[in-house]
Structure 1
Amino acid sequence: MNALALSHRAPSRALLIIGILLIATTLRAPITGVAPLLGMIRPYFDLGTTAAGALTALPLLAFAVVSPFGALLAREYGLERSLFFALMLVTAGIVLRSRDAAWCLYTGTWIIGMGIAIGNVLLPSLIKRDFPEKVTSITGLYALAMGMAAALASAVAIPLEHFWGWRHSLGTIVALPLAALAVWVMQVGAHTKPARDTAAPPHGGKVWSSALAWQVTLFLGLNSAIYYVAIAWLPTILQDAGLSAAHAGSLHGLLQLATAIPGLLLGPILARMKDQRAAAITVSSISAAALAGLLVAPEWAPLWTVAFGIGSGAAIILGLAFISLRTRNAHQAAALSGMSQCIGYLLAAIGPLAMGAIHDQLHGWAVPLGVTVALALAAAAIGALAGRRRQI
């Protein structure tokens, strides 16, 4: 009887893992696949640099607004149905974004951001609840799947554009949420609640008045802002430095792969550390050095791209880890998670818009890159505080 039960359970767990990995492929690629195509989208709709930057900023604003309410949705309708709804939003947003109208471009982008926001909050909760003994390994696989899908979307964007035009190139990303929906539909019958420490709506209280909570929030927010500036503008920066659109797109894809590397390596390293000050300073400093390298020696762009991907990917993972490490219980973790995601994504949304506006004013990338270097160094300084072995 036990053997029979196990034989039924194993495929269901395997199917659940496949579904998790397929959902992970939809959480970054629909955003990152836009940047290589901005050179075609901007003249088509006559967009300025700032308006084009909004295509990256809008999903991040959606993250800030919607993420804290993902837990409420899951408590009402269940994790599985809420994730299915998130996939439907991403699918609808991709289809709408590919239509031949500027309002569709922006509205579709916002809808994609809403769907990804729900998935970002609920997928880690699902992993923690259903695979408590394998959180690190499943999370590493999920980060790798997310990075590989984002890399593929960036790398194939220009080749597909040559064949079908930018609209159809952008629309092909819909294959990812459709594949996830086809597998996840088998989970919709379940109606289970999220883990207790899933991010809840931000509210006042002791966490918001804690200096340590603000240090964690700013470390995550500054590193997220730097990362999304690169996501939005790296292909344009590289093309302005003389690289072809296809080469710039492939390096943008390489950046996504590089961000996945820390997800496989950082967990065991952090487990051996008494505190995380050295790690926080190191990863933010790597990002600063890579951004400075793009500014002074763009001919070495592949090296700087990989370095930045590793540094920024590790910094964001470390920032998320601080949410658990710096809190005493699940309730406090949920409050800090809601606070850090709300403020962090707002900072991340401002980044691409601000750098685009500076570029429009000064007609170059030297000052925007200099500002991002300064932000990375500020993150290193804040990380020295957030990384101390303390709790709120």
Structure 2
Amino acid sequence: MTQARFWSGSRVFSLVAVVLLAGSLRAGVTAFGPLAVRIGADVGLSATEVGALAALPVLAFGLFAVPTAPLARRLGFDRLALLSLIVLASGLALRLLMPAWSLWVGTALLGIGVATLNVLLPVLVKRDFAPNAPLVLGVTTCTMTGTAALGAGLAVVITDSTGGQWRLALAASLPVVIVAIALFAVRGWRDRLGVASSDHSPHVNIWRSPIAWSVTAYMALQSTVFYTFVNWMPTIEQSSGVSEANAGLHLAIAQLSGMPLGFLVAWLMNRSRDQRIIAISFLPITAIALLGGMFLPQLMPVWTVMIGLTTGMMLPVALGLISERAATAGDAARMSGMAQSIGYFCAGLGPIIGGGLFEATGGWVATLGLLLACVVGLVFAGLAAGRDRTLGAAPAER
């Protein structure tokens, strides 16, 4: 199939839709980190409670990822995506309200909507864009990284420019979600590419699959690093003398700096059957930056950018592994649900434990040490998950 024929009008429409879907997933989460101190002070939350609020969407990612595959079989991938976008928009809108409960409930709804969309994104890409799925995943993950960076970088700017209205900053991504809802409403009630949402491939018990568990471990560890990083690194910088606005700016720069390399690793995964080297090659940079933060905290802005550079590569690899280790869209949905449910549940503990370690020790060295241990684990998970094999098939059968 030629590239010109591959990119038909309906497939281009689908690309725009999934890119906007990807653009809806992270800004509402990352906007919280730079404002965590201010929100905690305004609402009257302890450091552990702020960590719990930061972790709430990530815990929802884990809890609500498992039902996604059976729901998708019943409703179809596109209809479920539309409903999840509506839930996400409702959560963002609730965050605009003044009562404290609306902040908690809105954040929970945001997490529920994103949980399902997290699972659906690699499945939609695998279904609609094979054999270019890893490359399209690179585009969508770069979009996620870019909007995450904007969410973090503009949070303080929006808050200060509106007289301290941080609720507006937390809900700033709502217009993007509304546009995504409109596009999925157009395509959501029928399959524009003529590919059925149901899957008739032989059932594979992913819970007994070493492949699925290795992919799950990679997803869990990289998510723990990312969400602990985005929620606490601005506060860590502020503790070393950096202003609130600059800490948010550094986080945005850190995430934007990872976008080109994130697309690069996606492109490399699209051209390689064995992705072990790709999955682990950048991890030494993360380890060096975490050690630097532990022993040279005066250079924390440098370490922040270095960590952001590498976390921008972790997510494309994690999502690419889900797509590449699954033989069918149905397998991808099941493995994506498993990897993201366990992965994000573990990741949700990261900000809570990070805040607890700070309260217990009075410093951030232990928190950074936790992330360093996760990076070591990523090396082993990447070596296992990156091997040329697919769920339920030997390498030679691929």
TM-score (norm 1): 0.86
Structure 1 residue runs of 5 or longer lacking an equivalent are 1-5
Matching of residues 275-286 of structure 1 within 5 Å: 275-286=274-285
Q: Is contact 2:120–2:333 with CA below 8 Å preserved after alignment? A: no
Cα distance change of structure 1 residues 333 and 81 upon mapping to structure 2, 3 Å threshold: closer
Q: Does 1:92 align with 2:90?
A: yes
Tell me which of 131, 136, 139 is aligned to 1:138.
136
Q: Name the structure 2 match of 1:105.
A: 103
Q: Name the structure 2 match of 1:178.
A: 178
Cα distance change of structure 1 residues 387 and 172 upon mapping to structure 2, 3 Å threshold: closer
Percent identity reads 35
CA distance in 2 between partners of 1:188 and 1:36 (Å): 35
Distance apart, 1:18 and its partner CA = 2.3
CA distance in 2 between partners of 1:99 and 1:168 (Å): 10
Q: Name the structure 2 match of 1:169.
A: 169
Cα distance change of structure 1 residues 121 and 194 upon mapping to structure 2, 3 Å threshold: farther
CA distance in 2 between partners of 1:326 and 1:22 (Å): 25
Equivalent AA in structure 2 for residue 248 of structure 1: A
CA distance in 2 between partners of 1:166 and 1:376 (Å): 33
**1:313-372 deviation digits (Å, cap 9, x = unpaired):** 323332333335445666655543332222111110111111111111222111111221
Q: Name the structure 1 match of 2:394.
A: none
Q: Name the structure 2 match of 1:190.
A: 190
Cα distance change of structure 1 residues 42 and 282 upon mapping to structure 2, 3 Å threshold: same
Q: Is contact 1:196–1:334 with CA below 8 Å preserved after alignment? A: no
CA distance in 1 between partners of 2:249 and 2:210 (Å): 41
Distance apart, 1:94 and its partner CA = 0.8
Q: Name the structure 2 match of 1:366.
A: 365
Q: Name the structure 1 match of 2:121.
A: 123
Cα distance change of structure 1 residues 382 and 28 upon mapping to structure 2, 3 Å threshold: same
- Of stretches 217-226 and 304-313 in structure 1, the one that deviates more from structure 2 is 304-313
Equivalent AA in structure 1 for residue 146 of structure 2: M
Cα distance change of structure 1 residues 113 and 385 upon mapping to structure 2, 3 Å threshold: same
TM-score (norm 2): 0.85
Distance apart, 1:107 and its partner CA = 1.1
Is the partner of 2:67 in helix, strand or coil? helix
Q: Is contact 1:84–1:181 with CA below 8 Å preserved after alignment? A: yes
Distance apart, 1:303 and its partner CA = 3.4
CA distance in 1 between partners of 2:169 and 2:112 (Å): 22
- Of stretches 345-354 and 320-329 in structure 1, the one that deviates more from structure 2 is 320-329
Cα distance change of structure 1 residues 39 and 376 upon mapping to structure 2, 3 Å threshold: same
Structure 2 residue runs of 5 or longer lacking an equivalent are 392-398
Equivalent AA in structure 1 for residue 281 of structure 2: T
CA distance in 1 between partners of 2:81 and 2:296 (Å): 43
Q: Name the structure 2 match of 1:78.
A: 76
CA distance in 1 between partners of 2:16 and 2:305 (Å): 28
Q: Is contact 1:125–1:194 with CA below 8 Å preserved after alignment? A: no
CA distance in 2 between partners of 1:16 and 1:213 (Å): 28
Instruction: Tell me which protein shows more helix as a share of its residues.
Output: 1
Q: Is contact 2:126–2:323 with CA below 8 Å preserved after alignment? A: no
